[in-house]
A = this chain, B = another copy of it.
Amino acid sequence: MSQKKATTAKRSTYRHGDLARALLDAGIDLARAGGPQAVTLREATRRAGVVPNAAYRHYASRDALLQAVRSAALAALAVAIEGQLARLPATDDPAVLARASLRAVGTGYVKFACAEPGLFRTAFSVPDQLQGAAVPEKAGNTGLNPFQLLGAALDRFVDAGLLPRQRRLGAEYLAWSAVHGLSMLIIDGPLRGLGSNQRKLVLQNLLDMVERGLSEPARSLPNQAPASAENLPPDPGRGTV
């Protein structure tokens, strides 16, 4: 009767069952509570009821474990966004749908950052070697990572004729930057400690402005050349290597 407790508790068997998973779970808990810095090999193994070195049979280094936690955190973010997308009101108007989608992505993003700052920080923490995959191929229930979810929302803008196709990639940068930057401002920066009502206000306001940013340049912009060149370079969000 070999018990197979994957997580926690001092097992009596020499073999653990699924130490890799147990370590990952412990790492996720640590990241939730204390961000990437708190994810430590020794503490994770301690929680798994195992000696520190055992971890090296499953992860090449502390950073390898942390990378796994990063991926999990990113997946959790994707799930949060998907959850927000799921409650979109049914509509036939593609323009309404597009706007609602973008707002859902932004709302899910910021909500997650506020609800799980440790995981959020971990998801975007810098790996020891900057080489590894920047973004995992798939994540979340739909198999899309957060950037792909945002991209899908912008595709709806294009389809609805609200966004010129050649401006799509730049729009993705704007939307991502704005929402990500706002999240950071709220959890670390000067907007820390905002009430959730105030957060909602700020977020709605930001999303309004992003939408305006996506729209056609109003003819009330007399200055400068007719918008800088639009041949924007690489496509993000498809992972690396």
Contacts and interface: CB of A to CB of B under 8 A. Distances in A.
Contact of A190 (B182, B229, B231, B237): B237
A115 interface: no
Interface string A153-178: 00000000000000100110110111
Nearest to A210: B213
A174 B223 contact: no
Contacts of A234: 190-191, 194, 198
Contacts of A231: 201
Work out how many copies of this chain go into the complex.
2
A241 B158 CA distance: 46
Interface string A177-199: 11111101100111110110010
A212 interface: yes
Contacts of A215: 212, 218, 220-221
The bracket for how many chain A residues form the interface is 35 or more
Contacts of A216: 218, 220
Given A190-B237, A209-B171, A218-B212, A201 B228 contact: yes
A123 to B, nearest CB: 11
B228 A204 contact: yes
Given A190-B134, A194-B234, A205 B228 contact: yes
A227 B208 contact: yes
A213 B205 contact: no
Q: Which 3 A-B pairs have the closest CB atoms?
A: A177-B181, A190-B236, A181-B181
Given A173-B202, A176-B181, A202-B232, 7 more contacts: A171-B209, A174-B206, A177-B178, A177-B179, A177-B185, A208-B227, A212-B215
21 contacts: A96-B223, A99-B223, A121-B126, A124-B189, A134-B189, A135-B189, A167-B205, A174-B178, A174-B210, A177-B180, A180-B184, A181-B181, A184-B184, A208-B217, A208-B227, A212-B212, A212-B214, A212-B217, A212-B218, A212-B221, A215-B218
Interface of A: 35, 95-96, 99, 121, 124, 126, 130, 134-135, 147, 167, 170-171, 173-174, 176-182, 184-185, 188-192, 194-195, 198, 201-202, 204-206, 208-218, 220-224, 227-234, 236-237, 240
